[in-house]
A and B are shown apart, each in its own frame.
Chain A
Amino acid sequence: MQRLLKNARAYGNNRAARPTIPKRLPATANPDSAIVPSLHVETEGKRSSVHHIRPNLRSTTGYLPPFGSGAGSGAVSRPAHGDRGSPQPRVTGARAWQTCPLSFISNNMAGRLGRGQPAYIPSPDWSRNLIDYEDAISHAVSIFTDGTGATPNAERQPGTLSGPVQLGKNFEKKVRKHIDQVRNRVTPPEDIPSPGKGGIKRVAEIIHERVAKGGGREATYAGETVVAFEDGGVTYIFRSNGEFWTILGN
């Protein structure tokens, strides 16, 4: 999670405008059920792992409604920032269970929920934290999908990439080999500058734009399953994980 947050920051999200994310993260009754190591991302040549957190924390606490579901809103709502000191209404029965402090649940149900481990110990700023986690996750997912429509843990849909577009270390050489094909993919040919004068950047933009439009198709290339994006007179070939492979003439 720390890495996720670090990555979210690294991608230029404006953290200053939002509440601080605490360093301590919630423990869970069954860590396997809540935090799923799932993704490897490449950021400026550095490869790192990122954990995807299931947003439905009710499964671990029996208390919080799923994000955005509205469930439980009649019983308890997350206090607004700056309103945490307001008196809570007295409630009984089921509502009392729903509104009881998380620390009570964690202290009393730890043995039943989590093999002797606390079920969920939130910090006093739990609601702010959760909002922030949700925001960070949603931001991270938007980075990973790169407009391809793929989500990190979802099964890849045919014709989509399971990860972000990665141009790779030999991209410059590939552009030199294929730049003239890319120019002539349209009629009249696009006036792309030579590779050393902006051509590499322009070809990268063209490829990103094409992928963002969608409409890729599954294909097999050199014995591997690939995703092909046709663009006029050329086709961009990607490995299904988003790694750019080559450009073929149509």
Chain B
Amino acid sequence: MVTRHMIESQSPTSWDAPDWHPDFGNAKAECEHLRKLAVAVLSTIPQSTVELIVPEPGLMFLQIVTSNGIAAEAYSLCDAKETENHRYGLFLSPGTPREQEFYANSVSQAICILQKGLHADREMVGT
């Protein structure tokens, strides 16, 4: 099994979908779903970078980094029965006591959550 760790943070358009076993799900669809969000993040959240991380076959997520460090992790989730319907699982300040969990059905909804969450996080860090 090949584990890939892609670090092309500023160019999500060049990301290749991992070539993993079909049992892990549709890697191409998942990668596309996260790519859309990554492109939107780069254009709407200033000074952010994005990274597609594949720690092991079958597991992929988008890491959003700002000047304060890792700001969020985004996962592409799909309903077992409706594999075409993807939604985003968003975890702000992951791995910290401030971690917050959200779900979004669209890129615009996800961006809205990220902007609000990052703004609140900046204020909290600032105080």
**Chain A residues within CB distance 8 Å of chain B:** 170, 172-174, 176-177, 179-181, 194-197, 199, 221-223, 245-246, 248-250
Residues 78-99 of chain B, each 1 if its beta carbon lies under 8 Å from chain A, else 0: 0111000000010101111111
| B23 near A221: Cβ-Cβ < 8 Å | yes
| A179 near B80: Cβ-Cβ < 8 Å | no
Question: Does B103 make an interface contact (CB < 8 A)?
Answer: yes
B17 to chain A, nearest CB (A): 16
Please report the C-alpha to C-alpha distance between residue A246 and residue B20 in the assembled complex, in whole angstroms: 15
Please name 4 further chain A to chain B contacts, defined as beta carbons within 8 Å, in addition to the given A194-B100, A195-B94, A197-B99, sorted by A numbering. A195-B91, A195-B99, A196-B98, A223-B21
Interfacial chain B residues near A248, Cβ < 8 Å: 80
A180 touches which of B58, B89, B93, B100 (Cβ 8 Å) = B89
B100 to chain A, nearest CB (A): 7
Please report the C-alpha to C-alpha distance between residue A120 and residue B55 in the assembled complex, in whole angstroms: 51
Q: Known contacts being A194-B100, A222-B21, A249-B80, is A174 close to B95, with CB within 8 Å?
A: no
| B55 near A196: Cβ-Cβ < 8 Å | no
Q: List 28 A-B contacts (CB under 8 A).
A: A173-B61, A176-B61, A176-B73, A176-B75, A176-B94, A177-B59, A177-B75, A177-B77, A180-B89, A180-B103, A181-B80, A195-B91, A195-B94, A196-B91, A196-B93, A196-B96, A196-B98, A196-B99, A196-B100, A197-B99, A222-B23, A222-B24, A222-B57, A223-B21, A245-B58, A246-B58, A246-B59, A248-B80
Interfacial chain A residues near B75, Cβ < 8 Å: 176-177
B54 to chain A, nearest CB (A): 10
A244 to chain B, nearest CB (A): 12
A175 to chain B, nearest CB (A): 10
Question: Does B101 make an interface contact (CB < 8 A)?
Answer: yes
Please report the C-alpha to C-alpha distance between residue A221 and residue B23 in the assembled complex, in whole angstroms: 6
Closest 4 CB pairs of A and B: A196-B99, A249-B80, A194-B101, A222-B21
B95 touches which of A172, A177, A180, A221 (Cβ 8 Å) = A172
Q: Known contacts being A170-B59, A196-B99, A249-B80, is A176 close to B91, with CB within 8 Å?
A: yes
Interfacial chain B residues near A196, Cβ < 8 Å: 91, 93-101
Interfacial chain A residues near B80, Cβ < 8 Å: 181, 248-250
Please report the C-alpha to C-alpha distance between residue A177 and residue B97 in the assembled complex, in whole angstroms: 18
A173 touches which of B23, B57, B59, B100 (Cβ 8 Å) = B59
- B75 closest partner in A (C-beta): A177
A2 to chain B, nearest CB (A): 34
Interfacial chain B residues near A170, Cβ < 8 Å: 55-56, 59
Interfacial chain B residues near A177, Cβ < 8 Å: 59, 61, 75, 77, 89
